[in-house]
Structures are given as C-alpha cells and as structure tokens.
A and B are shown apart, each in its own frame.
Chain A
Amino acid sequence: MSARAVYVRGVGLHPFGRFDDKDVTRLGQHAVRAGLREAEVGRGGFQAAFCGTVYTGVAAGHKVLTSLGLSGAPIVNVEAGCASGGAALSLGVSQVASGECDTVLVFGMEKMPRGIIRSSFFPPWCEKAGLTPAPAYFALRARRLLQESGVTREHLARVSVKNHGNGVDNPFAMYRKPLTIDQVLASKMVCDPLTLFMLCSPNEGAACVVLGATPGPVGPPVRVLASVVRSHLPGSALGEHTPMAGRIADDPPSPTELAAREAFHKAAVGPADLDVVEVQDTDSGREILSIEELGLCDRADGGAFVADGIGERDGRLPVNPSGGLLSKGEPLGASALGQIVELTWQLRSAADRRQVEGARTALGHTVGRGANASVTILQR
C-alpha cells in the first residue's frame, strides 16, 4: 500500500499516579491541551479524534473535547484492553496515511479501580471459582520463563530494579524510589514466583499524541513507521485472552508476535535497528516475555538478555528507560500512548537524564486482555 508519511506533531502527558482531586476528564484535558499546544493545533485543526479508555464509560473522549470547545470532528472512543491507546493510535495513523485526514488527535486516559483489577471480562462463576486473578496468570507465564527460558528469580527482581531505577529520573512516574534486588525478592509474595515489587500498580493518568501529514514545530521530525494492533489466534491456554482451556500442542503465534512481525515488515526495519524500546511490563516476567516475543532476543534466551544487562539504560538496547509500568503504574487507556510520548522525547533527545544517546529508531509495545497487542515503531 502506498501511504503518506505520518509524523508525531506533538505530545502531551499527565503524570501517572493517584489523583483523588481530579476526575478522569480533568486528566484528559491536561494531556490534550499539552499535546495540541505543542503541535500548534487548535479548534478545527484536526479532522478526527480517537480516545483510548477502558473504565471511563459512555462518550468519555467527547466529554473532554466538549469541555475544551474542541468538538465537531468525529470522536471515537477505543477500547482494546491494555492496548487501548495503541489501538487508538493505529486508527489515527491509518487516517493520516490514507489521506483521509491531515491531522488527527489521539489521546488516552484512565482512572483505574484500586487493587486487583476486577474485570467484566469473565462470567461471574469464574470469579467465584477463583479462576480470574490477573497476577496468577502473570505468575504462570513467569514460571514458564523460569522453566523454559533460563530465567531466575534474581532476573525477575533485576528487571524491577532496573525499571524502578529508571523511574527515579521520570517526573511523570508514580514510584520514584530505587529498589535493590534483595528488597524486591523480600517483598510480599503475591503469586509465586512474583512478589509485590515485581508487579505494576493500576493507576491514573492521560497521554496525548497529535499526528500529522507534516512534522510538528518542535524538535527533529519523528515519523510513525508502523502502528499495528493484532488479536490472538485460538489455541493457547495461557494466551492473554484468558480462556479456560486450550491445546497442549504447540501454541500459535501470540498477538505480540503477530503485531511485531507486521510492524517490522511495514517499517522495513528489524530488531537490530532499534535503539530504545518501551515494552509491556505489567510484571517483571512480562517484560522478559515481551522481549522474547518481539524478537529482541531469541525465544528461550530471556534469562541471558537480563543477565547480560542488554536492557539496562547503558546497555545495547535500553528497555523501558521511562521506568516502564513497574515504575509509572498502568492507566490502561493511557499506557501505550505514554510510551509513545516517552519515545518521542527520546528521539528528540529531550528525555533529560533518561536520554538514550543517539536514539534514532524506537519501538513501543503493549499487550493484554482481549487479547490485544500493539506495536508501534518510530524513527527520527
């Protein structure tokens, strides 16, 4: 498909955390105003808006844009679980690439319930039977890594230490204190092998990415080379679509593998071309699994990737320099776009102390309930 180039014209971010004095519309307003201001786009300046959100209810994006006097263009609210922001972005990118729109507003926002996420996804009897807690599913995937990928408990802890260390330098993150491997391993056991400090917190926040057919006024131009969302294929009992059963035989490619293949193909780059990545790290095992599924290391080499320090901030391929979800927390609708904001700053050399020197090509990834996975590749 011959398509127009798509640029990130501007970005805006509301910190991720807990903000009892603000409703979700207020969080969205903050991010949208910041993004549009940077993009120098105002009323009538965008031809479509996509809002990623999961828990917000009816016409959530409309409420934000109505309150700012920015309605009129089509506003579509997008729900795709943890990949909601990525799904909103992919719709916006296709609008610009196709020539349908010259400028598109994409934003995401969330105020998550506290504690273990209670989802309307499962039938009620599954909750009663104890078959729904997300950390338990995360733990099974982590244990598979322990058994099949040379991953140790220390590796799991090291991922959390890395991301919390990165988060110290991120004023938009929720947790900004460094942790030690011993502290992570000694924290409360939630679902073996995952301890409390290996799990991210659901929280609140908002992010905005303004897309355009021409570069924005700030920084070197950042292009969106690919923005892909894929769902799952049937068969995997441990798939993010959380079925009650699957095949014993070989798992089909995961949504992340499907999205990554398509994104690398569209972008005409490969894993070796990447300089910095932000990947789903709802738990520290998930970060390692994401790295494997994205092809950033060979399958079953996740333990060696961590042991060799490849994903550290001074490593060969820094992973989650923002601090990831482990440090920032996870507001579902905003998390994928939060990655795009961070990566845009990285590519503009505007990430302050988190800066990965000379970063030119970047990848963002989310995966979760649905199942949905999003992979976005940016380049300056």
Chain B
Amino acid sequence: MAQVAIQPGLFTAPPQPRLLAGQCDGCRERHFPTADFCPYCSHDAISICEVGATGTLYLHTVVNSAPPGYDGPVPYGFGLVDLPEGLRVVTRLVAPDLAELRSGLPVRLVVEPLYRDDDGNDVLSWAYGPATKARR
C-alpha cells in the first residue's frame, strides 16, 4: 500500500529525514512549518532549509488518551525539542518506554507511519525519539 505524508512540505523522506524549516531572507529568523510570510517580520522571501536530524529534549509530557481528530497510538509522548539550527519545535515523542523521556535527552528525528487513512494509505508523520536507540 502507499505511504503518504500527513501534510506536504513538513519533512523529507526516511530513512534519514529532515524537517523542512523556512528561513527569512530578510531577518534570517527560522520558522516551522514553512510559511509564505516571515512570522517575525512579514517579509515575503523565504528559503527552505533542512533541519533537525538530531536535537535535545527540552520539555515533555505523555498524552494518555487520544485527543479529538487523532487516530495514532496512545499513549504518546509530546514535547519541545531544541534543534542545533536554533529552532525549538513542538513534536510528538516516541520511545520504547515513555518513562525514559527526560529533559536534556539527545533525540533523533524519525518519520514513520502514524495511522492508516480511509483509503488504506499509511500516513507518515514525524517524531523525535532517543538518539541512542535504533529506530523502532
């Protein structure tokens, strides 16, 4: 069956994925996801850059029951990851044991199926997981 991205333009394909961030050609601030206008200065010339192969976990929690509209597995991790490129991103978190999540943990980007849509496609989304562990 086919694999489709949960939304175009968020990330590059596995096995070595990157997030696609926008960088303003005016003020040089980065943002994610990419936008037509810079959310810092409203400039309209935006370059796309690949970021976030690895990062550092800043804050995390665990979502124990599925929120409205979400068809992926529960419980799942949720938090903020600091990227070496200067961005702090909101992200789902995966780990063999969610209890091992802690601030400062080195993490690595994964892109993997999150749920199957009504057409039978595996829908890919991104998450961060412990960098020391092999991808699940």
**Is B86 a contact partner of A247 (Cβ separation < 8 A)?**
yes
Contact residues in B for A243 (Cβ distance below 8 Å)? 39, 90
Complexed CA–CA distance, A326 and B127 (Å): 33
Q: Is A67 an interface residue (CB 8 A)?
A: no
* A234 within 8 A of partner (CB): yes
Query: 29 A-B pairs, CB-CB below 8 angstroms?
Result: A116-B67, A123-B7, A124-B69, A125-B6, A127-B67, A127-B70, A128-B71, A128-B125, A130-B63, A131-B78, A132-B67, A133-B63, A135-B63, A136-B61, A140-B60, A143-B103, A191-B64, A192-B61, A192-B62, A235-B40, A238-B80, A242-B90, A243-B39, A244-B32, A245-B87, A247-B29, A247-B87, A248-B83, A248-B87
* Residue pair B33, A136 in contact (C-beta under 8 Å): no
B69: A residues at CB distance < 8 A: 118, 124, 127-128, 132
Task: Report the minimal beta-carbon distance from B58 to chain A, rounded to whole angstroms.
Answer: 8
Establish whether residues A139 and B33, one from each chain, have CB atoms under 8 Å apart when the complex forms.
no
Q: Which chain B residues lie closer than 8 Å to A128 at the CB level?
A: 6, 69-71, 114-115, 123, 125
Interface of B is mostly: strand
Known: A132-B70, A191-B62. 10 other contacts (CB 8 A): A127-B68, A130-B70, A130-B72, A131-B78, A135-B63, A194-B61, A237-B88, A238-B80, A245-B89, A245-B90
Q: Which of A135, A143, A235 interacts with B59 by CB under 8 Å?
A: A143
Interface string of A241-270 (1 = CB under 8 A from B): 011111111000000000000000000000
CB 8 Å contact bits of A46-89 with B (1 = contact, 0 = none): 00000000000000000000000000000000000000000000
Choice from B6, B31, B103 contacting A129 with Cβ under 8 Å = B6
- B129 an interface residue at 8 Å Cβ cutoff? no
The 8 A CB mask of B49-91 against A (1 = contact, 0 = none) is 0000000000111111011111110001011101100111111
Contact among A124, A191, A242, A245 with B32 in the assembled complex (CB-CB below 8 Å): A245
Q: How far in angstroms is the closest Cβ of chain A from B110? A: 13
CB distance from A3 to the nearest CB of B (A): 32
Instruction: Indicate whether A130 sits within 8 Å of B67 (C-beta atoms), given known contacts A237-B90, A247-B86.
Output: yes
**Partner among A125, A194, A244 whose Cβ is within 8 Å of the Cβ of B89:** A244
Q: Which residues of B contact A238 (CB under 8 A)?
A: 59, 80
Distance between Cα atoms of A135 and B92 in the complex (Å): 14
1/0 contact trace for B14-51 toward A, CB 8 Å?
00000001000000011111000001100000000000
A116 to B64, CA, bound (A): 13
A residues less than 8 Å from B31 (CB atoms): 245
With both beta carbons as reference points, the residue of chain B lying nearest to A127 in the complex is identified as B69
CA of A246 to CA of B39 in the docked complex: distance in angstroms?
10
Measured in the bound complex, the distance between the Cα atoms of B63 and A116 in whole Å is 12
Please give, as numbers and ranges, the residues of chain B lying within 8 Å of A115 by CB-CB distance.
68
When the two chains form their complex, are residues B92 and A131 in contact, meaning their CB atoms are under 8 A apart? yes
Q: Are B62 and A244 in contact (CB under 8 A)?
A: no
Interface residue range, chain A: 35 or more
Residues of A within 8 A of B (CB): 115-116, 118, 123-125, 127-133, 135-136, 139-140, 143-144, 147, 189-194, 234-235, 237-238, 242-249
4 smallest A-B Cβ distances: which pairs?
A: A127-B69, A139-B61, A133-B67, A245-B32
* In the complex, chain A residues whose CB is within 8 Å of the CB of B21: 245
Which of B72, B80, B92 lies at the interface centre, i.e. has the most chain A CB atoms within 10 A of its CB?
A: B80
> Which residues from chain A contact B68 at a C-beta distance below 8 Å?
115-116, 118, 127
- Tell me the complex Cα distance, A9–B95, Å: 57
| Residues on the B chain within 8 Å of A248, using CB | 82-83, 86-88
In the complex, chain B residues whose CB is within 8 Å of the CB of A247: 29, 86-88
Bound-complex Cα distance A249 to B82 (A): 10
**C-alpha gap A133/B80 in the complex (Å):** 14
**Nearest CB of chain B from residue A282's CB, rounded to whole Å:** 15
A147 CB contacts on chain B under 8 angstroms? 59, 103
Interface centre among A123, A128, A245 (most CB of B within 10 A): A245
Contact partners of B59 in chain A: CB under 8 A:
140, 143-144, 147, 238
Q: Is the CB of B86 within 8 A of A131?
A: no
Give the one of B40, B61, B79, B86 with max A CB within 10 A.
B61
In the complex, what distance in Å separates the CA atom of A118 from the CA atom of B69?
Answer: 9
Nearest-neighbour CB distance to chain A for B63, whole angstroms, equals 5
Complex: A247 Cα to B63 Cα, angstroms: 24
> What residues on A are CB-neighbors of B115 within 8 Å?
128
Q: Min CB distance, B86 to chain A, in Å? A: 6
For B126, the closest partner residue in chain A by CB is A129
Cross-chain contact B39 with A140 (CB below 8 angstroms): no
Q: Given the interface contacts A128-B70, A234-B39, A238-B80, does A191 sit within 8 Å of B61 by beta carbon?
A: yes
